[in-house]
Structure 1
Amino acid sequence: EMAPRGGRSVSTQVVRNRMKSVKNIQKITKAMKMVAASKLRSAQQRVENSRGLWQPFTALLGDTPRIDVKKNVIVAVTSDKGLCGSIHSASVNVSKALYKLISGSERETKYVILGEKGKVQMVSDSKDDIAMTITELQLQKTPINFTQISELADIILKNVEFDAIRIVFNKFRHVVIHWPTVATILSPEVVERESEAGGMLGIWIHMRLKRGDEIRSASESCGVPVACVRLLILIS
């Protein structure tokens, strides 16, 4: 079709090709959304299932974020890839704030960074304080599982000296909200010291519940399953 003299013209065929291209992109995008939604549901289900393993023990023993120790290790959990910069930034910012909070003249504080994204953000101004970095976490084709986490934990425990490890991660709430969270893990020496000082940790290490009614009473008072109470007694 010819445009008026002096006016702009666009070939009808060019417009048709462009519309066809846009429709194809819409189909691809819709398929990608469906795949992403499926992966999200699967990952969310694994997260919810894993909470039954650690939440009861946290309820029993509690967390000790303010414990005073000389050697602290901050584990910043990020990923190697992903268009989720705010999640990585939150983990890094909380880690840096925690470093300032627990550092001191007589304390040694180091970072362990999981994921390339956290490494990139922290190496510029905290290079001297980084004890180790672990990247390429997503080369594993299988979903993250207990075996992989155990291997990562072994690497950290064998290569870093610590009295307390502070794990900084984003706790999943829903798709658009993740809460920056800090979990504390104590060394065996500090656990023994704290158990002698009393508190929930000391109570459970020194208690030996045998009768069923005592175990049920402890379960009800702490708000955790009976099976978790029995398991804690076995390992204490």
Structure 2
Amino acid sequence: MAMAALRRESRRLTSIVSPNPINVLRSSLLSSEEQTSAGVRCISTQIVRNRMKSIKNIQKITKAMKMVAASKLRQVQTKTENSRGLWQPFTALLGDTPSVSVKKNVVIAISSDKGLCGGINTTSVKVSRGVKKLNDDPESETKFVILGEKAKVQLIRGDSRKDIELCMTELQKNPLNFTQVSALADDILKSVQFDALRIVFNKFGSVVSFVPTVATILSPEIVERESEAGGTLGELDSYEIEGGETKSEILQNLAEFQFSCVLYNAVLENACSEQGARMSAMDSSSRNAGEVLDRLTLTYNRTRQASITTELIEIISGASALEG
């Protein structure tokens, strides 16, 4: 809104301020070719000042966005580090086998709801499409579950529209917690049929680095099948099952809880990567705005100096003509 008011004020000033009569006389005497060559020197200082003011406002906005992203990063980073201890025991127990071959694959692409955060959303979408391509064959099918507005916008454009099973947005409208993500995981489990869930997210490394990561969650039936076939499933086979529950029931409960824990960590990791990438992007934008402002300042000073020199020459010439 402030930028729109600035543009309206600029147009109003341009229509009110009358041109310099000396420049009008000079332009009437010059040929068209001479006007073209002199156009660079006759640039209006008012236009340059308005442009400088716009760049300064943009720089203030980018600096403020960087500070907000840094504050949000500090809030979510502690949660992310604590959440890593939730899914690691499940990985040790059930393993993480991304190369397992199943008939029904569901790729969960996690992205942000807002932009201006570098290339993390594009990276997540590219990896999701790559995972789908690797698992596509005539005997299997792959569906998408999208968490985040940006992945939805990118995947819905191409051939992946027909493969989108479920879309959820505005995940970070409220502070993320395990209860919220558990309800989200329960909705996903009720909405899709799967043999393997492949969660694609950006693992947070630092403010300037994130790693695209794929976590695989197998259904209880596939876990039992791989266990009987002698596949590698972590330390599950080293435990003896006691009590009234069967192995299938225990695997069902473990798979659901594992999915909630891994999804919770994935959402937090991606949120950390988003804020870190936004900090980096806004810092680069602020530096670029400073460079543009320096160039505009130099142009303004040169234009102003040229106009002052021209006026002095005209005064001296007029005084000499009167004396003569």
Dislocated runs of 4+, deviation >6 Å: 17-28
Once residues 20 and 130 of structure 1 are traced to their aligned partners in structure 2, the CA distance between those partners, rounded to angstroms, is 45
Against the structure 1 CA distance between its residues 117 and 35, is the aligned structure 2 distance closer, same or farther, given a 3 Å change threshold? closer
Which residue pairs with 2:71 in the alignment? 38
Which residue pairs with 1:166 in the alignment? 198
Deviations 1:181-211 (A, max 9, x none): 11001111111112222345375245249xx
Against the structure 1 CA distance between its residues 34 and 188, is the aligned structure 2 distance closer, same or farther, given a 3 Å change threshold? same
Matches within 5 A, 1:188-227: 188-201=220-233, 203-208=235-240
The residue matched to 2:80 in structure 1 has which SS?
Answer: helix
1:135 to 169, 178, 187: 169
The residue matched to 2:98 in structure 1 has which SS?
Answer: coil
Q: Indicate the RMSD between aligned Cα atoms, in angstroms.
A: 3.1
Which residue pairs with 2:141 in the alignment? 108
Against the structure 1 CA distance between its residues 167 and 9, is the aligned structure 2 distance closer, same or farther, given a 3 Å change threshold? closer
Offset of residue 92 of structure 1: 0.6
Which residue pairs with 1:123 in the alignment? 156
Whose radius of gyration is greater, 1 or 2? 2
Once residues 96 and 189 of structure 1 are traced to their aligned partners in structure 2, the CA distance between those partners, rounded to angstroms, is 26
How many residues align structurally? 204
Contact 1:194 1:202 in 2 (8 A): no
Q: Is 1:63 matched with 2:100?
A: no
Offset of residue 115 of structure 1: 1.1
Gaps of 5+ in 2: 1-19, 24-41, 242-253, 258-324
Which residue pairs with 2:179 in the alignment? 147
**TM-score in terms of structure 2 length:** 0.55
The structure with the greater share of residues assigned to strand is 1
Which residue pairs with 1:214 in the alignment? none
The structure with the greater share of residues assigned to helix is 2
Which residue pairs with 1:177 in the alignment? 209
Against the structure 1 CA distance between its residues 30 and 39, is the aligned structure 2 distance closer, same or farther, given a 3 Å change threshold? same
Matches within 5 A, 1:13-92: 30-92=63-125
Contact 2:95 2:234 in 1 (8 A): no
Gaps of 5+ in 1: 210-231
Offset of residue 60 of structure 1: 4.3
